[in-house]
C-alpha cells in the first residue's frame, strides 16, 4: 500500500510541479543565455529524481564507457518517462528531439521551445529526418548534445521497433560520435500504470561509435542490437 500511495503522489506531483516550474522558467529564460537556461532545466530534473527517490524508493546508477568530450549524438532506449528526466542529469548540455505536439502545451511548450528543442512531426517521414539533421547540425555547432529516442516512442519492456536513421545520419554528416545508452527503467516505471517499483535503475553508456564511412542502416542495426541485448542483460530477475 505504501508503494502505491507513494506512486500515486509522484504521478500527481509530476504535472503539478512541471507547470508551476514552467511559469518562472519561461520568464527567466527570456533574459538568460542558453547555457544558464540549461542549468535551470537540469535543476528541475534533479528535483524530480529526488522526489521520485523519496516517494517511490527509485534511484539510479551510471555504468559503462565514459562520456566523450565535446558535443555528440546520444541514442537512448525509450521505455519509460524516467529517461526524459535522467538524461538531463547524466549527460552534458543538450537539446532534445521530440514530437511537435509537446510544443502546443500551455506554458510548458514555450519552455520546451526556449530550450532549442528539435520538434518534429513523427508522421512526416523523410521530412522529419531532414529536420533532425539540419537543426541538429546547428545545435551541435553551438556545443550542445543532441538526444534522440531512435524508436520514436516509448516501448513496453521486452519490445522494440526498427531504429530511425536521423541520429546516425546527423553523426555521419557532422563527423561527431554516436553514444548509445541502454537502461532498465521500464521495469521500474512502466510506460503505463501508476505503480513505480523501488530499486536502482542501471544506465549503461555504450562505447562511442563513429559513423564515418559506414552504411547508415547497417550501423543502426548494430547499435540497436547492442542496446536491446544490454537491456536484456541488466533486466532485474523475477
Residue pLDDT tens, the chain, 238 long: 889 899 999 999 999 999 999 999 999 999 999 999 999 999 999 999 999 999 999 999 999 999 999 999 999 999 999 999 999 999 999 999 998 898 888 899 999 999 999 988 877 667 888 899 999 999 999 999 999 999 989 999 989 999 999 999 999 999 999 999 999 999 999 988 899 999 999 999 999 999 998 999 999 999 999 999 999 999 887 6
Beta-bridge mates of residue 120: 99
Measured distance CA(149)–CA(21) in Å, rounded: 25
Judge whether 118 and 170 are in contact, CB under 8 Å: no
Name the grid cell of 137: 547540425
Q: Which residue has the cell 530534473?
A: 45
For the stretch 94-108, pLDDT in tens is: 999 998 898 888 899
So what's the pLDDT on residue 124? 67
For the stretch 193-235, pLDDT in tens is: 899 999 999 999 999 999 998 999 999 999 999 999 999 999 8
Provide long-range contacts, Cβ within 8 A and 24+ apart, for 94-102. 94/38, 94/144, 94/145, 94/146, 94/147, 95/139, 95/144, 95/145, 95/146, 95/147, 96/147, 97/132, 97/136, 97/146, 97/147, 97/148, 97/149, 97/166, 97/167
So what's the pLDDT on residue 120? 86
So what's the pLDDT on residue 238? 60
So what's the pLDDT on residue 29? 93
Measured distance CA(221)–CA(48) in Å, rounded: 33
Q: Which residue has the cell 548534445?
A: 145
Domains annotated on the chain, with CATH: 2-234 (3.40.1130)
So what's the pLDDT on residue 128? 84
User: Helix (H, G, I), strand (E, B), or coil: what is residue 116?
Assistant: coil
Q: Which residue has the cell 535522467?
A: 86
Amino acid at each position: 500500500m505504501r508503494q502505491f500511495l507513494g506512486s500515486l503522489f509522484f504521478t500527481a506531483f509530476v504535472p503539478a510541479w512541471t507547470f508551476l516550474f514552467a511559469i518562472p522558467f519561461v520568464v527567466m529564460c527570456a533574459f538568460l543565455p542558453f547555457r544558464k537556461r540549461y542549468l535551470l532545466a537540469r535543476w528541475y530534473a534533479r528535483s524530480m529524481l529526488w522526489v521520485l527517490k523519496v516517494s517511490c524508493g527509485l534511484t539510479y546508477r551510471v555504468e559503462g564507457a565514459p562520456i566523450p568530450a565535446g558535443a555528440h549524438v546520444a541514442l537512448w532506449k525509450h521505455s519509460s518517462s524516467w529517461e526524459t528526466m535522467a538524461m538531463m542529469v547524466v549527460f552534458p548540455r543538450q537539446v532534445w528531439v521530440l514530437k511537435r505536439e509537446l510544443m502546443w502545451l500551455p506554458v510548458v511548450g514555450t519552455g520546451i521551445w526556449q530550450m532549442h528543442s528539435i520538434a518534429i512531426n513523427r508522421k512526416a517521414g523523410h521530412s522529419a529526418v531532414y529536420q533532425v539533421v539540419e537543426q541538429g547540425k546547428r545545435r551541435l555547432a553551438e556545443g550542445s548534445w543532441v538526444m534522440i529516442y531512435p524508436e520514436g516512442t516509448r516501448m513496453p519492456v521486452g519490445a522494440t521497433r526498427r531504429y530511425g536513421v536521423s541520429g546516425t545520419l546527423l553523426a555521419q554528416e557532422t563527423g561527431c560520435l554516436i553514444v548509445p545508452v541502454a537502461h532498465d527503467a521500464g521495469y521500474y516505471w512502466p510506460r503505463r500504470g501508476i505503480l513505480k517499483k523501488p530499486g536502482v535503475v542501471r544506465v549503461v553508456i555504450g562505447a562511442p561509435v563513429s559513423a564515418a564511412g559506414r552504411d547508415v542502416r547497417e550501423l543502426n542495426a548494430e547499435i540497436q542490437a547492442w542496446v536491446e541485448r544490454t537491456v536484456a542483460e541488466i533486466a532485474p530477475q523475477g
